[in-house]
């Protein structure tokens, strides 16, 4: 596996062997390592010294269920710190088939011409892409698939990334060619836009699957993993209801973001629940699907296709975070409305969490009424138009709160809190506060732990373990839901890696990788100027009790400050 | 001298004796001490835990030339760190006559009703002020002077502060009742607005001058100081040309901000020079005045009154920083245009440096053409209207750059660089980078030093000494131009303080006070989360050479990191 280094100014490719300290890592861990080795932590995120890096996880390339994710990273224009965002789809797989351990985009062009980069076993070529500028990701993907054939993988940005909006992500094609798998968080789409790259097209037709050192050992471990995954009760739940299974759980616990995080229970929660979503899709039929895989080989298939009453597709997939942030958080209880908002955000290439949170803050600023889905859609169209208001919102809730003087901004390190109110699920609050990535449930969600989520004294260990595990999965390229299987058979991770790479791995490789990753990320952030003062929830969440439990976030600062003492 | 503590929620006043460690300090030093003792450095700047503090300097109260300044401070909504902004006018004098060493406004009201606070020897009263909401500072001051009599001092905010804009300052009446003396920098007007205080009216009619322990010693020292001040050649220059004497000097050196800091020389510099300004005002006559005192007793009188051709006043004063940031920086070379922009910014209660810099960034974003004064005025009216675009600009260049994706933002710690390009006047660049206040020439300007301003190896000591001196002057309540006198007779500072307070002061009291002040400020910022990574000029100023000398800012980071090692 090689490192492909592309200079976006000179348009030259260098293919290099990875240095020794990069070899044991992949995905999120490798990104952190590369950034620490090569990126000045104080550089301007959208200047020539930042780099945009793609790194498939260590287990990518074998269609292991839920284990072909691509990690994308750089210094975040949103948080100013280290950033990794990962996604399913086919990008990770095809990069791996081309033997690419890491793809590093450097520098920036001297002019404003849009380019696309085509990757194949013949190397790279830049092509003019001005005719794609301003197009949404759906149209862009269609045109590129027409031009380059239906089998390519594509990572691309929408108008949001072109405008440099700090909530812009990078979309990736799912296994069916739909650009819906977004590496959403932290503004990496703006970073790609700063290098004037509209799309990266990956054609691995002449590539090959990565070598497995011990095929039979690999298959044996894979079998154990699959068996455990299929046996886990949550697997069936996610197949049936997708991530929106979370709605009822979160609402029952009183942690559902509602009207800009002013309540933890949403009166109309049932209408946006996974159960209701499933019934609706089943009753509509046509293109609607209650279950759908984003990556080839996934057995969970937590995704879905949301069709309208008229039999056309509104969006695919409709996920819990969007339902929380653009539904209950905005007092919008109609799934059709939420799905339409979701399509618009996707097409713009923006993070629905960040935008949903920005709209919640905008509602507090009087720019829309809670519950007014038509106005919310209008505001998304302001983003598309690039109006001052649209650009404010597109930069996320912190910018929105700053401009409109709203203190109630749900964000940590500049990044929006996702759909679990940390005043109730306090372990997740610890994750939001202390993750080097900024507020992000995928960095260590604790909602399923059998603990008293209100007790501020027991959350630190819970969050730390979850953060190590998640950083580990992100380094493997494994979806969090692969954890249903791995948690039951933890040694299969070791066995898969040993079989794949033909060298020994520790029994605790998941946590070891996670610990190392977070250690590297914290070092980068430290050099970028982060301190314990950044490892805090917004002050108002420590003052303002959340109904119905009327709790505040009260995990002591000193506990937050010591969570990573051991690394 | 007492501490007056006002709770803006309960509307109660507590009059307290200052704790021992507050007694030796005044002005900027006292603000830093109070903030460190009482304000959580991580608090939300516009939340209830921040405090707005007024502290006259140690020498205030005696109409010593240029020594009656008021320091205003709190945690800055612009920089997120410690903030002191000072102003001339009558606020410092009248607070001192009421025996107020520090006025501390705490908490915030539960509702949105605007209030004013009236202070007199009878204590305080709150009065409803909703009828003043939305009014500019000029109209507001007129109404308040009508209601409370012409002799009161007033500190007030304009629409900018009401809207919570991070470039909003606090205006103070000059000796003639004109609200033109703005504690401009760092968004303290937004802090005052967050507590819903439109104005503070200070009636010291029943107050008294502060006690002087040894009157004859005080008069003797005052005489020496005055003599030295009058003898200094710069005194006459500032009397004749005001601060705009700087235009020709700065332009000749190639450090004049031009078209958003893209050049250091402005072709039309002569048209905005102090010499031209003086000729223009002399030729216009009428209300125009080439020299004007902001504080009673000032012998320098660097201020002016800028009248139009028609004989009415456009603005008073017109100062160099405004000429630099709203003139050459926007490619506007007509003093009438600059004066009209200045009036508008003043009336809104905003910092003309911050707004000028924001407009420069906006020009790079294509929102106005350089040189288009009419469009610049239109944009200021967007701020008054509170439109999304106006609110973006009103939050300063960093927000403007973030929203419109412009990297060329001239700011440090979130605060705009003033009218000396740091790639040429590198000592001032060191000040911009390392001052705890964010970029601010008043924290240590080095342009008059007889050194090679381009040499990166000799700027650290120069800046440090200037920073200590300026922090010292700000603690005394002395204008920087008082330094023309004090620098020639440094022991008069010791003598004045000893005579005033009846206790010994060190020979090096100016630098001692400055050192202590900066030490306290750095400690506050450290606790707020600032690190060496914050002590940097924007990266592009280290990459992008400035014509005509084509220098970049190249004082090494490691030198910046050690500038305050001794404190």
| Sequential DSSP letters for A305-324 | EEE-TTSSEEES---HHHHH
Give dist(CA B512, CA A466) in Å, integer: 51
- Range list of H helices, A327-396: 335-348, 352-364, 373-385, 388-394
Through-space distance between the first and last CA atoms of chain A, rounded to whole angstroms: 29
pLDDT of A473 reads 98
Residues 510..549 of A with a Cβ closer than 8 Å to B: which? 527-534, 536, 538-540, 543
Strand partners, B103: B4, B54
A403–B contact, CB cutoff 8 A: yes
Nearest Cα residue in chain A from B161: A405
Q: What is the largest CA-CA distance in chain B?
A: 62
CA dihedral A452→A454→A460→A464, nearest 10 degrees, is: 70
Confidence of residue A296 (pLDDT cuts 50, 70, 90): confident
Q: Which chain B residues touch A543 with a CB distance below 8 Å?
A: 47-48
A138–B contact, CB cutoff 8 A: no
* Ordered DSSP codes for B215-246: HHHHHHHHHHHHHHHHHSHHHHHHHHHGGGGH
A365–B contact, CB cutoff 8 A: no
Strand partners, A156: A171, A199
Q: Which chain A residues touch B433 with a CB distance below 8 Å?
A: none
Strand partners, A307: A313
A299–B contact, CB cutoff 8 A: no
C-alpha angle A393-A394-A395 in degrees, rounded to nearest 5: 90
Structure tokens at A437: 């990535």
Q: Which chain A residues touch B412 with a CB distance below 8 Å?
A: none
Interface contact flag, A42 B539, Cβ < 8 Å: yes
B73–A contact, CB cutoff 8 A: no
Q: Which chain B residues touch A534 with a CB distance below 8 Å?
A: 529
Q: Which chain A residues touch B528 with a CB distance below 8 Å?
A: 533
C-alpha angle B239-B244-B245 in degrees, rounded to nearest 5: 65
Within chain B, which residues score under 70 in pLDDT?
none
Nearest residue to B161 (alpha-carbon basis) of B294, B314, B52: B52
Cβ contacts of B545 within 8 Å, gap of 6 or more: B423, B551, B552
B41, B44, B403 member nearest A388 (Cβ): B403
Rounded to the nearest 10 degrees, what angle do helices A335-348 and A274-284 cross at?
A: 90
List, for residues B128-185, the tens digit of each pLDDT value.
Answer: 999 999 999 999 999 999 999 999 999 999 999 999 999 999 999 999 999 999 999 9
C-alpha angle B285-B287-B288 in degrees, rounded to nearest 5: 55
B47, B163, B391 member nearest A539 (Cβ): B47
B506 to chain A, minimum CA–CA distance in Å? 37
Q: Which chain A residues touch B536 with a CB distance below 8 Å?
A: 42
* Ordered DSSP codes for A82-147: EEEEEE-SSHHHHHHHTTEEEEEEES--SS---EEEEEETTEEEEEE-GGGTT--HHHHHHHHHHH
Q: Which secondary-structure segment (H or E) carries B491?
A: helix B491-501
Helix, strand or coil for residue A533?
A: helix
What are the backbone dihedrals phi and psi of residue B177, each rounded to the nearest 5 degrees, phi first? 85, 10
Is the separation of the CB atoms in A321 and A327 below 8 Å?
Answer: no
Interface contact flag, B407 A47, Cβ < 8 Å: yes
Nearest residue to A359 (alpha-carbon basis) of A257, A250, A248, A269: A257
Through-space distance between the first and last CA atoms of chain B, rounded to whole angstroms: 29
Nearest residue to B420 (alpha-carbon basis) of B435, B392, B402, B439: B439
Q: Which chain B residues touch A523 with a CB distance below 8 Å?
A: none
Rounded to the nearest 10 degrees, what angle do helices A352-364 and A373-385 cross at?
A: 110
Residue A240, Cβ density class (10 Å: 0-12 exposed, 13-18 middle, ≥19 buried): middle
Give dist(CA A557, CA A552) in Å, integer: 14
Nearest Cα residue in chain B from A524: B533
B81–A contact, CB cutoff 8 A: no
B45–A contact, CB cutoff 8 A: no
Nearest Cα residue in chain A from B528: A533
B402, B531, B539 member nearest A531 (Cβ): B531
Interface contact flag, A403 B404, Cβ < 8 Å: no
What are the backbone dihedrals phi and psi of residue B395, each rounded to the nearest 5 degrees, phi first? -90, 0
Give dist(CA A510, CA A496) in Å, integer: 12
B385–A contact, CB cutoff 8 A: no
What are the backbone dihedrals phi and psi of residue A225, each rounded to the nearest 5 degrees, phi first? -60, -50
Assembly ipTM? 0.96
B378–A contact, CB cutoff 8 A: no
Picking from A403, A522, A529 by the largest number of B CB atoms within 10 A of its own CB, the best residue to mutate is: A403
Helix, strand or coil for residue B213?
A: coil
Complete domains list, chain A, with CATH = 2-202 (3.60.9.10)
pLDDT of A295 reads 86
Interface contact flag, B388 A395, Cβ < 8 Å: no
pLDDT of B110 reads 94
Interface contact flag, B539 A44, Cβ < 8 Å: yes
Is the separation of the CB atoms in B195 and B156 below 8 Å?
Answer: no
Cβ contacts of A36 within 8 Å, gap of 6 or more: A520, A523, A524
Is the separation of the CB atoms in B164 and B45 below 8 Å?
Answer: no
Interface contact flag, B42 A539, Cβ < 8 Å: yes
CA distances, B59 to each of A420, B17, B25 (Å) = 55, 19, 11
A159 to chain B, minimum CA–CA distance in Å? 13
Q: Which chain A residues touch B538 with a CB distance below 8 Å?
A: 44
Which DSSP state fits A545? P
The pTM for the full model equals: 0.97
B389, B402, B528 member nearest A533 (Cβ): B528
Structure tokens at B412: 């440090």
pLDDT of A567 reads 81
A48, A403, A532 member nearest B391 (Cβ): A403
Interface contact flag, B407 A536, Cβ < 8 Å: no
Query: How would you classify residue B371: left for phi > 0, otherwise alpha for psi between -120 and 50, otherwise beta?
Result: left
* Ordered DSSP codes for B112-179: ---EEEEEETTEEEEEE-GGGTT--HHHHHHHHHHHH-TT-EEEE--HHHHTT-TTB-EEE--TTS-S
Helix, strand or coil for residue B498?
A: helix
Nearest Cα residue in chain B from A367: B388
Give residue for tokens 């022991």.
Answer: B491
Strand partners, B546: B551
Is the separation of the CB atoms in A145 and A190 below 8 Å?
Answer: no
Sign of the C-alpha dihedral computed for residues B493, B499, B503 and B504 taken in this order: positive
Is the separation of the CB atoms in A411 and A440 below 8 Å?
Answer: no
List, for residues A249-277, the tens digit of each pLDDT value.
Answer: 999 999 999 999 999 999 999 999 999 99
**Cα B311 from chain centroid (whole Å):** 29
Is the separation of the CB atoms in B313 and B307 below 8 Å?
Answer: yes
Q: Is the pLDDT of residue A566 over 90?
A: no
Give me the total of CB pairs closer than 8 Å, taking one residue from chain A and one from chain B: 87
Nearest residue to A414 (alpha-carbon basis) of A436, A397, A431, A391: A397
Give residue for tokens 């109070």.
Answer: B34
CB atoms within 10 A of CB A147: 12
The count of C-alpha atoms lying within 13 angstroms of the C-alpha of B56, restricted to the half-sphere facing its C-beta, is: 27
The count of C-alpha atoms lying within 13 angstroms of the C-alpha of A383, restricted to the half-sphere facing its C-beta, is: 36
C-alpha angle B330-B287-B138 in degrees, rounded to nearest 5: 65
Give dist(CA B103, CA B34) in Å, integer: 11
List, for residues A167-223, the tens digit of each pLDDT value.
Answer: 999 999 999 999 999 999 999 999 999 999 999 999 999 999 999 999 999 999 999
B391–A contact, CB cutoff 8 A: yes
Interface contact flag, A46 B405, Cβ < 8 Å: yes
Give residue for tokens 């965002």.
Answer: A85
CB atoms within 10 A of CB B99: 17
Helix, strand or coil for residue B482?
A: helix
Strand partners, B244: none
Interface contact flag, B166 A392, Cβ < 8 Å: no
pLDDT of B505 reads 97
pLDDT of B555 reads 98
Give dist(CA B402, CA A401) in Å, integer: 14
Nearest Cα residue in chain B from A362: B388
Give dist(CA A204, CA A209) in Å, integer: 10
Picking from B167, B191, B388 by the largest number of A CB atoms within 10 A of its own CB, the best residue to mutate is: B388
């Amino acid at each position: 596996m090689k490192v492909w280094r592309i200079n976006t100014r000179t348009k030259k490719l260098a293919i290099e062997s990875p240095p020794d300290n990069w070899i044991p890592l992949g995905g999120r861990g490798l990104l952190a390592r590369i950034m620490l080795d090569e990126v000045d932590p104080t550089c301007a995120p959208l200047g020539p010294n930042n780099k945009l890096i793609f790194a498939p996880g260590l287990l990518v390339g074998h269609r292991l269920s839920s284990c072909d994710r691509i990690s994308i990273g750089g210094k975040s224009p949103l948080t100013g710190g280290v950033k990794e965002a990962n996604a399913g789809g086919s990008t990770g797989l095809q990069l791996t088939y081309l033997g690419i351990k890491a793809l590093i985009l450097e520098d920036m062009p001297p002019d404003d011409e849009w380019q696309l980069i085509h990757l194949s076993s013949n190397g790279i070529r830049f092509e003019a892409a001005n005719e794609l500028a301003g197009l949404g990701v759906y149209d862009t993907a269609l045109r590129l698939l027409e031009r380059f054939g239906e089998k390519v993988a594509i990572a691309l940005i929408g108008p949001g990334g072109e405008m440099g909006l700090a909530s812009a992500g990078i979309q990736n094609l799912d296994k069916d060619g739909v650009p819906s798998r977004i590496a959403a968080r932290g503004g990496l789409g703006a970073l790609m836009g700063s290098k004037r790259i509209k799309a990266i097209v990956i054609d691995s037709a002449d590539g090959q699957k990565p070598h497995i050192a011990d095929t039979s050992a690999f298959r044996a471990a894979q079998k154990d993993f699959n068996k455990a995954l299929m046996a886990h009760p949550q697997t069936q739940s996610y197949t049936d209801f997708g991530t929106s299974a979370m709605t009822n759980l979160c609402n029952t616990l009183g942690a559902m973001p509602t009207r800009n995080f002013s309540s933890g229970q949403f009166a109309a929660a049932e209408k946006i629940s996974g159960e209701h979503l499933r019934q609706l899709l089943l009753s509509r039929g046509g293109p609607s699907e209650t279950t759908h895989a984003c990556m080839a080989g996934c057995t969970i298939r937590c995704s879905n296709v949301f069709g309208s009453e008229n039999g056309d597709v509104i969006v695919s997939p409709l996920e819990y975070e969007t339902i929380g942030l653009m539904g209950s958080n905005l007092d919008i209880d109609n799934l059709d409305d939420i799905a339409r908002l979701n399509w618009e955000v996707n097409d713009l290439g923006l993070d629905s969490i960040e935008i949903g949170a920005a709209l919640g803050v905008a509602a507090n600023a009087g720019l829309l009424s809670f519950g007014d889905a038509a106005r919310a859609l209008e505001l998304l169209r302001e983003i598309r138009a690039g109006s001052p208001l649209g650009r404010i919102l597109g930069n996320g809730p912190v910018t929105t709160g700053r401009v409109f003087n709203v203190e109630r901004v749900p964000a940590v390190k500049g990044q929006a809190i996702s759909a679990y109110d940390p005043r109730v699920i306090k372990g997740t609050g610890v994750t939001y506060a202390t993750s080097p990535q900024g507020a992000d449930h995928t960095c260590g969600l604790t909602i399923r732990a059998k603990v008293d989520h209100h007790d501020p004294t027991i959350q630190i260990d819970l969050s730390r373990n979850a953060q190590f595990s998640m950083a580990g999965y992100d380094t493997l390229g494994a979806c969090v839901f692969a954890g249903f299987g791995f948690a039951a058979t933890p040694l299969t991770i070791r066995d898969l890696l040993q079989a794949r790479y033909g060298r020994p791995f520790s029994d605790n490789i998941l946590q070891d990788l996670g610990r190392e990753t977070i250690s590297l990320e914290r070092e980068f952030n430290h050099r970028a100027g982060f301190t314990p003062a950044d490892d805090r929830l917004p002050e108002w969440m420590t003052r303002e009790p959340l109904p119905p439990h009327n709790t505040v976030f009260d995990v002591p600062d000193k506990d937050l400050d010591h969570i990573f003492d051991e690394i």
